[in-house]
Amino acid sequence: MDVTISRSSVSGRVRAPPSKSYTHRAILASGYADSATVRRPLMSADTRATMRAVEQYGGAVDVTDESVTITGFDGRPAVPTDVIDCGNSGTTTRLITATAALADGMTVITGDRSLRSRPQGPLLDAIDQLGGRAESTRSNGQAPLVIRGPINGDVVSIPGDVSSQYVTALLMAGAVTAEGITIDLETELKSAPYVTITQELLAAFGVDTDRTETGFSVPGGQAYRPEDGEYTVPGDFSSASYLLAAGAVAADGSFVVEGLVPSAQGDVAIVEILERMGTDINWDRTEGRISVSRSALSGVTVDVGDTPDLLPTVAVLGAAATGETQIVNCEHVRYKETDRVAAMASELEKLGVRVTEEHDALTIHGGDSTLRGARVAGYDDHRIIMALSIAGLFAEGETTIEGAEHVDVSFPDFFDVLDGVGVDVRR
Task: Return the active site residues.
Answer: 309
Q: Is 118 part of any known ligand binding site?
A: yes
CA angle 174, 88, 314 (to 5 degrees): 95
144 prior amide bond cis, ω within 30 = yes
Q: Is 85 part of any known ligand binding site?
A: no
Under 8 Å between Cβ of 248 and 210: no
Separation of alpha carbons 297 and 114, rounded Å: 35
Q: Is 339 helix (H, G, I), strand (E, B) or coil?
A: coil
Q: Is 190 part of any known ligand binding site?
A: no
Q: Is 139 part of any known ligand binding site?
A: no
Separation of alpha carbons 389 and 302, rounded Å: 21
Q: Is 20 part of any known ligand binding site?
A: yes
**E-strand stretches of 119-237:** 133-136, 145-148, 154-158, 181-185, 210-211, 215-218, 230-232
150 prior amide bond cis, ω within 30 = yes
Separation of alpha carbons 228 and 288, rounded Å: 24
Q: Is 426 part of any known ligand binding site?
A: no
DSSP string across 359-370: TTEEEEEGGG--
Q: Is 148 part of any known ligand binding site?
A: no
| Distant-in-sequence, close-in-space partners of 140: CB < 8 Å, separation ≥ 6 | none
Q: Is 8 part of any known ligand binding site?
A: no
In one letter, which amino acid is 277? M
Q: Is 383 part of any known ligand binding site?
A: yes
CB atoms under 10 Å from CB of 213, counted, come to 5
Separation of alpha carbons 182 and 172, rounded Å: 12
The H or E element containing residue 27 is: helix 20-32
Separation of alpha carbons 389 and 407, rounded Å: 11
DSSP string across 143-168: SSEEEE-----EEEEE-SSS-THHHH
DSSP-derived secondary structure letter, 78: P
Separation of alpha carbons 381 and 390, rounded Å: 15
Q: Is 164 part of any known ligand binding site?
A: yes
Q: Is 90 part of any known ligand binding site?
A: yes
Classify each residue of 281-309 as buried b or exposed e, where b means 16 or more C-beta atoms within 10 Å of its C-beta. bebeeeebbbbbebbebbbbebebbbbbb
Annotated binding site for 3-phosphoshikimate: 20-21, 25, 163-165, 191, 309, 336
Annotated binding site: 20-21, 25, 90, 118, 163-165, 191, 309, 336, 340, 383
